[in-house]
Amino acid sequence: MTTSRTGPAAETAAAETFWADAERHLVRYGVEFVPEIIERAAGSFLFTADGRKILDFTSGQMSAILGHAHPEIVATVRRRIAALDHLYSGMLSRPVVDLARRLAGTLPAPLTKTLLLTTGAESNEAALRMAKLVTGRHEVVSFAQSWHGMTQAAAAATYSAGRKGYGPTAPGNFAIPAPNAYRPDFTTPGGGHDWQRQLDFSFDLIDAQSTGSLAACLVEPILSSGGIIEPPPGYFAALQRKCRERGMLLVLDEAQTGLCRTGTWYAFERDGIVPDILTLSKTLGAGLPLAAVVTSPEIEQEAHDRGFLFFTTHVSDPLVAAVGGTVLDVLAAQRLDERARVLGGFLRDGLTALAERHEVIGDIRGRGLLVGVELVVDRETRRSSGDLGRRVTRRCLDLGLHMNIVQLPGMGGVLRIAPPLTATESELSLGLSILDQALTDAARTL
């Protein structure tokens, strides 16, 4: 008779088998796998197969704004999946219409028409397809450090990574520099960031390259994968004027900034503008695959009259739409926009205190609970070190904190901090204390 092994030896053998199977059977897709087997998650924490507890400072993939396994989301999924999960894409259900109506209630006029999809890439794909059809043009402008997705049009408008080796993108995609106040490329006589001159120069170049077919400008209110770069107040109003002058539609991608993360329901509210088309994803499903394209009745009507087609397998799926409605319930009931402002201030204060002790912190930026910490090896020259960022994130994981590092040319590394909006001050304090230790340890090894 054989008996199954238990205890540490069996756990080690099981882990070895897991990683061997992963190596043998998984396609790698551009990121190193975190060397932990995640068994479950709850609230702000992940729990590994070997019993470790890890504080999640990225909300999964910047999506789980209500934390993991939120009881109201769990209840909605359990209730709805037993009744209505998926339909023929031409059929409608109450959760879909209810979510579209409620989204309109959170947005300024004229953003009242919604298309429900699955991912951020898909929503940006649909938005660009709509903009091109409505304008009758094809050229698209985006930031040079943008990330909009991995499907065709979204990838063509993504410049931070993934452009090389795949052949030509569709013609008519142009990049303009992101307005980075910490590393300005246009400066005032006093050394400040001259973003207006940068923007004017950028569109002079766009006009020189355009064939007269400018359709849309697709940008993020805060560039997340680009290093938490927040354009200054006034920038988006000026950008919208540039679009209006050229007959372009302004499309804002609020995959990570939408739905209370920055301290307001939508990041564009700070700037007093309303985009022509808004895309939402990550935060709308709080970790489940749900995305939206929201636009005006006029643009939707013109698109419809011209035969707009975006008929996908999971368009208007009822299960995730119900989850989206629950997300809106929790955000409103718990006033998580205000909570993001308060906790964001607490987090910034803690990071500022760390910067007084750690010379490698060059800049702290962002809004609400979307914060970037740029690491440098020389504050005076702002000289960067890619190795430093990698060492800090590895040490954070060793100590029980999952962080994400953005590493692009010219940056040593920007820590993206985006904990759930349901996080507590004690959890943020724990994360700050771990980061403090990781910075100390990493600096010693340089």
Report the pLDDT value the prediction gives residue 257, as an integer from 0 to 100: 98
User: How far is it, in rounded angstroms, from Cα 189 to Cα 294?
Assistant: 41
Percentage, residues of the chain above pLDDT 90: 93
Judgement on whether residues 131 and 212 belong to the same structural domain of the protein = yes
Long-range Cβ pairs for the range 192-196 (8 Å, 24+): 193/232, 195/231, 195/232, 195/234, 195/235, 196/234, 196/238
Region 17-40 average pLDDT? 96
The verdict on whether 256 is a catalytic residue reads yes
Judgement on whether residues 148 and 252 belong to the same structural domain of the protein = yes
Report the pLDDT value the prediction gives residue 408, as an integer from 0 to 100: 74
Report the pLDDT value the prediction gives residue 3, as an integer from 0 to 100: 45
276 within domain boundaries: yes
CB 412 within 8 A of CB 399: no
Would the pLDDT of 407 be above 80? no
User: How far is it, in rounded angstroms, from Cα 244 to Cα 314?
Assistant: 34
Report the pLDDT value the prediction gives residue 406, as an integer from 0 to 100: 87
Q: In what helix (H) or strand (E) does residue 56 lie, and over which residues does it extend?
A: strand 53-56
Catalytic residue among 282, 339, 367, 395: 282
Cα 397 to Cα 46, 157, 394: the distances in Å are: 11, 32, 5
Judgement on whether residues 349 and 323 belong to the same structural domain of the protein = no
Q: In what helix (H) or strand (E) does residue 173 lie, and over which residues does it extend?
A: strand 173-176
Judgement on whether residues 283 and 181 belong to the same structural domain of the protein = yes
CA nearest to 129, candidates 118, 120, 119, 140: 140
CB 276 within 8 A of CB 298: no
Judgement on whether residues 273 and 394 belong to the same structural domain of the protein = no
What 8-state DSSP symbol labels residue 265? S
SS3 233: coil
Would the pLDDT of 41 be above 90? yes
22 within domain boundaries: no
191 within domain boundaries: yes
Catalytic residue among 195, 240, 416, 427: 416
Would the pLDDT of 239 be above 60? yes
52-66, 321-335, 402-416: range with lowest mean pLDDT: 402-416
Higher-scoring residue by pLDDT: 20, 409: 20
Report the pLDDT value the prediction gives residue 1, as an integer from 0 to 100: 42
**Residue 52 burial by CB count (10 A; 0-12/13-18/19+): exposed, middle or buried?**
middle
What is the count of structural domains for the chain? 2
Q: Domain holding 299: CATH number?
A: 3.40.640.10
Region 414-421 average pLDDT? 97
437 within domain boundaries: yes
Judgement on whether residues 340 and 264 belong to the same structural domain of the protein = no
Catalytic residue among 122, 220, 337, 427: 220
User: pLDDT tier at 387 (50, 70, 90 boundaries)?
Assistant: confident
CB 56 within 8 A of CB 46: yes
The verdict on whether 348 is a catalytic residue reads no
User: How far is it, in rounded angstroms, from Cα 172 to Cα 176?
Assistant: 13
User: How far is it, in rounded angstroms, from Cα 69 to Cα 40?
Assistant: 9
Report the pLDDT value the prediction gives residue 8, as an integer from 0 to 100: 83
The verdict on whether 240 is a catalytic residue reads no
- For 162-201, b/e burial (b = at least 16 CB within 10 A) is eeeeeeeeeebbbbbbbbbebbbebeeeeeebbbeebbee
Judgement on whether residues 187 and 153 belong to the same structural domain of the protein = yes
Judgement on whether residues 328 and 348 belong to the same structural domain of the protein = no
- Size of the chain in residues: 446
Query: Please, what is the average pLDDT of the chain?
Result: 96
Note the helical H segments in 117-233.
120-135, 152-156, 195-209
Higher-scoring residue by pLDDT: 384, 240: 240
**Residue 125 burial by CB count (10 A; 0-12/13-18/19+): exposed, middle or buried?**
buried
Catalytic residue among 147, 261, 391, 395: 147
Phi, psi of 411 (to 5 degrees): -120, 140
The verdict on whether 132 is a catalytic residue reads no
437 dihedral zone (left: phi>0; alpha: psi -120 to 50; beta)? alpha
**Residue 381 burial by CB count (10 A; 0-12/13-18/19+): exposed, middle or buried?**
exposed
What 8-state DSSP symbol labels residue 236? H
Would the pLDDT of 196 be above 90? yes
Name the token pair of 33. Answer: 């796998």
Region 371-396 average pLDDT? 93
User: pLDDT tier at 176 (50, 70, 90 boundaries)?
Assistant: very high
Domain of 267 in residue numbering reads as 73-333
Per-residue pLDDT reduced to its tens digit, 331-362: 999 999 999 999 999 999 999 999 999 999 99
User: How far is it, in rounded angstroms, from Cα 54 to Cα 52?
Assistant: 6
Judgement on whether residues 138 and 248 belong to the same structural domain of the protein = yes
How far, rounded to the nearest angstrom, does the alpha carbon of residue 68 sit from its chain's CA centroid?
17
Region 300-328 average pLDDT? 98
Pick the last residue of a domain from 333, 362, 380: 333
List, in order, residues 6 or more apart from 172 with CB less than 8 Å away. Answer: 138, 139, 140, 211, 213, 215
Report the pLDDT value the prediction gives residue 384, as an integer from 0 to 100: 86
Judgement on whether residues 321 and 342 belong to the same structural domain of the protein = no
The verdict on whether 220 is a catalytic residue reads yes
Catalytic residue among 194, 253, 276, 300: 253
Per-residue pLDDT reduced to its tens digit, 327-337: 999 999 999 99
Which residues sit opposite 363 in a β-bridge? 374
Count the alpha carbons within 13 Å of 37 in the hemisphere toward its beta carbon: 15
Report the pLDDT value the prediction gives residue 5, as an integer from 0 to 100: 55
Judgement on whether residues 246 and 393 belong to the same structural domain of the protein = no
Pick the last residue of a domain from 299, 333, 367: 333
Per-residue pLDDT reduced to its tens digit, 69-79: 999 999 999 99
Region 313-331 average pLDDT? 98
The pTM is what?
0.96
Region 275-303 average pLDDT? 98
